Amino acid sequence: MNRQDRANAVDRDMAACLLPDAAVGALGRWWSENASVYADGTPGAHAVRYTPGRWAQITPWPAALASVLVGGDAAVSLADVTLAVSDALRREAFREALVATFVWGKGKRGTPGGSGPATLAKILACDGLDTALASAVAALGEHGSQAAYAALHGRVPELGPSFFTKFLYFTGTALTPADSSRPLILDRVLSRHLRRMAAAVGRANGHDPDGSIAAWVWSDGNWSPHRYGVYLSFMHAAARQLAAGERWPPGASPDLLERALFTTTWQSSG
């Protein structure tokens, strides 16, 4: 059995096992502590703080974000960005939608001349950006989330999956994807959770006794479109797994699970 066959076997077993008991327990505790914040079963109330003045070089600047001329910090919620992206997509203002999602993703980490504003300025200056964003939006509506991911994967220098999946996520809240799995954010934090679970499954089924397969497929970045599809399938199924229990809100959206995993840890057995 070659490495890809072993990875496929681990994926199949992960899809069958889904979240381990330790994770289910930790996520249940997370919900008991955050139920009042996310009472509607979505992460829409989650807000980040950012400093508008640090993004003064960036255009186009979404009207939903505080003016870059205003001093101090501001806050923007996931629901605010969702509305901003919906409005931008109606006008085919794809760059504006990207800026809104990028600023939300960076939050207070965006410093003048630093990795936030400086990186975004480089992205906005890239030839082919508009074509790539438009292609991804079209692919989402015509072929689904994995195809939309493929349309952006490796297309725009400096725009990696950790940030372009944020663009896809918010786009998926405004549009109806062709498939049933709406886009979700995939970054290093989420990938490492999946890596831990994959390593445990690989040890149990004998296909990955040393964890090397888990480390290969759930690396810290540059995930393939196939891997993104595996991620979406797992997360949507795991959300249904949680909703069937007593410690998770019934009908909660898969992005609530994504939000919870981002801030949750647990001790694995074995």
- Taking Cα atoms as reference points, which of 262, 237, 214 lies closest to residue 17? 237
This prediction's pTM? 0.94
Give the separation between CA 223 and CA 74, rounded to whole angstroms: 32
Of 79-93, 107-121, 203-217, 224-238, the range with the lowest mean pLDDT is 107-121
Query: N- to C-terminal Cα distance for the chain?
Result: 25
Check residues 70 and 90 and name the one with the higher pLDDT: 90
Q: Is 79 exposed, middle or buried (0-12, 13-18, 19+ CB in 10 A)?
A: middle
Contact 248, 34 (CB under 8 A): no
Instruction: Report pLDDT for 251.
Output: 87
Per the document, the length of the chain is 270
What was the pLDDT predicted at 270? 47
